[in-house]
């Protein structure tokens, strides 16, 4: 599986998700949220390899560990650090960068691309902050339309993209603010079915690359002469859809809400759904009041969106181990393939 994720932090602690996308020739590390202590067990080399940090929102339990991330990466010398989050990201990061005395920074590398997503205005604003300027003179705001792309028959909002992966976002209701949900997908790949090539008696060669290309020519030149391109494509090529992982935290929806159907549709059968699991269903009043999910509804959400696997995190501190087992059972009632993130880490 090219996408792998670990929940950082334990039960009743701040949590985050460290996502690793391994294509076989390249590894990308992405961090989703950065609460207090979430990086304390991570190797410095790994923290320094995180290429992008995505914030769901800026309640303290999701950003209290940022200083640790910053300390490891403020003067990174190879690649820029990307930080993305909802409205307020730019100011909030600027203030965090200014929370230190800077007097030995003039020769320091360190480039930070900070992007603020504003779904209500349909735009993304970005500024670049430099360590050598003590992060004090960021570039002017570069404003762009949010990038809409297609995914499984719907339009999605892509907020970060490299040749190895794509991240799109959705705004979730969390009380009277928005919390960003994120999905990581790997590109679809096309593979060649070698034994079909052999059975057709055409020697392999550069024509196979041509066949995999998106050429619109009707015919293709093979060592055995011209052949019908679409016939060969359907005989020889297999499309492998990319993998998907979704990170959701701090939101509250119920099956009867209008938001429920929108989010089920956006989820679109994720291979792996990581979701908050804050309250027992018996406390749905509390869940509603604080803009969080109940375990029962998390299970239903995973089932209705046809997720393949569900990892739970962000449980309320009020529950002891026994009650956490009950929350898990509530989620598993609708979605048996559910686990707590910290249990998965022990295996």
Tell me the pairing of strands 154-161 and 166-174. Answer: antiparallel
Distance CA 257, CA 66 (A): 34
- Residue 31, helix vs strand vs coil: strand
14 is a site residue for Zn ion (CB under 5 A):
no
H and E: helices and strands count for the chain: 12, 20
Distance CA 65, CA 14 (A): 9
- Least distance CB 249 / Zn ion (angstroms): 6
* Cβ neighbours of 210 (radius 10 Å): 14
Choose between 291 and 299: whose C-beta lies nearer to Zn ion. Answer: 291
In angstroms, give the least distance from the CB of 179 to Zn ion.
Answer: 6
Q: Which of residues 191-230 bind Zn ion (CB under 5 A)?
A: none
Residue 20 vs 59, nearer CB to Zn ion: 59
194, 204 contact by CB (below 8 A): yes
Per CB under 5 A, which region of 51-59, 142-150, 227-235, 325-333 contacts Zn ion?
51-59
Which one, 13 or 22, has the nearer CB to Zn ion?
Answer: 13
Which of the 8 DSSP states describes residue 186?
P
Stretch that binds Zn ion, among 84-92, 94-102, 105-113, 243-251 (CB under 5 A): 243-251
Q: Which of residues 52-81 bind Zn ion (CB under 5 A)?
A: 59, 61
Burial of 97-112, coded b for 16+ CB within 10 Å and e otherwise, reads beeeebeebeebebbb
Chain-centroid distance of CA 48 in Å reads: 18
Binds Zn ion by CB under 5 A, chosen from 250, 283, 296, 330: 250
Q: Rounded to 5, what percent of the chain is helix, strand, coil? A: 30, 35, 40
Q: Say how far apart CA 116 and CA 225 lie, in whole Å.
A: 54
- Shortest Cβ 284–Zn ion spacing (Å): 17
Query: Which H or E run contains 331?
Result: helix 321-334
- Name the catalytic one among 14, 33, 61, 250: 61
Query: Is the Cβ of residue 250 or residue 296 nearer to Zn ion in the bound state?
Result: 250
Listed ranges 199-207, 250-258, 259-267, 333-341: which one lies at the site for Zn ion (CB under 5 A) = 250-258
Q: Which of 68-76, 213-221, 230-238, 249-257 is the region at the interface with Zn ion (rule: CB under 5 A)?
A: 249-257
With beta carbons less than 8 A apart as the criterion, state whether 14 and 36 touch.
yes
C-beta of 168 vs 250, nearer to Zn ion: 250
CB of 149 to Zn ion, least distance (A): 28
Write the DSSP symbol of residue 131: G
Partners of 346 in beta bridges = none
| Least spacing, CB of residue 250 vs Zn ion, in Å | 4
- 61 tagged catalytic: yes
In angstroms, give the least distance from the CB of 34 to Zn ion. 12
Between 42 and 250, name the residue whose CB sits nearer to Zn ion: 250
Number of residues that bind Zn ion (CB under 5 A): 3
* Enzyme catalytic residues: 61
Chain contacts with Zn ion (rule: CB under 5 A): 59, 61, 250
């Amino acid at each position: 599986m090219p996408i792998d994720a670990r929940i950082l932090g334990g039960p009743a602690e701040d949590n985050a998700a460290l996502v690793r996308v391994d294509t076989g020739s390249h590894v990308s590390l992405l961090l989703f949220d950065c609460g207090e202590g979430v990086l304390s067990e991570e190797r410095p080399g790994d923290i320094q390899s995180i290429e992008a940090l995505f914030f769901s929102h800026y309640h303290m339990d999701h950003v209290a560990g940022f200083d640790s991330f910053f300390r490891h990466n403020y003067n990174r010398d190879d690649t820029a650090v990307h930080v993305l989050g909802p409205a307020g990201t730019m100011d909030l990061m600027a203030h965090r960068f200014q929370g230190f005395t800077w007097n030995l920074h003039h020769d320091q590398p360190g480039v930070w691309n900070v992007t603020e997503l504003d779904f209500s205005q349909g735009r993304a604003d970005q500024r670049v902050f430099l360590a050598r300027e003590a992060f004090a003179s960021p570039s002017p705001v570069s404003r762009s339309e949010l990038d809409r792309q297609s995914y499984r028959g719907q339009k999605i909002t892509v907020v970060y993209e490299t040749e190895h992966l794509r991240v799109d976002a959705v705004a979730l209701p969390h009380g009277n603010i928005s919390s960003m949900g994120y999905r990581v997908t790997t590109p679809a790949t096309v593979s060649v079915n070698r034994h079909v090539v052999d059975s057709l008696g055409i020697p392999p060669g550069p024509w196979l690359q041509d066949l995999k290309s998106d050429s619109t020519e009707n015919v293709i030149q093979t060592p055995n002469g011209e052949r019908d391109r679409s016939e060969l494509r359907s005989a020889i090529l297999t499309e492998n859809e990319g993998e998907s992982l979704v990170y959701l935290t701090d939101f509250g929806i119920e099956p009867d809400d209008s938001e429920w159907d929108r989010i089920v549709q956006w989820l679109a059968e994720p291979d792996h759904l990581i979701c908050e699991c804050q309250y027992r269903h018996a406390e749905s009043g509390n869940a509603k009041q604080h803009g969080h999910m109940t375990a029962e509804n998390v299970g239903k959400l995973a089932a209705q969106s046809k997720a393949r696997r569900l990892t739970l995190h962000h449980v309320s501190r009020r529950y002891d181990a026994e009650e956490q087992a009950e929350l898990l059972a509530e989620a598993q009632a609708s979605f048996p393939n559910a686990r707590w993130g910290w249990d998965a880490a022990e295996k």
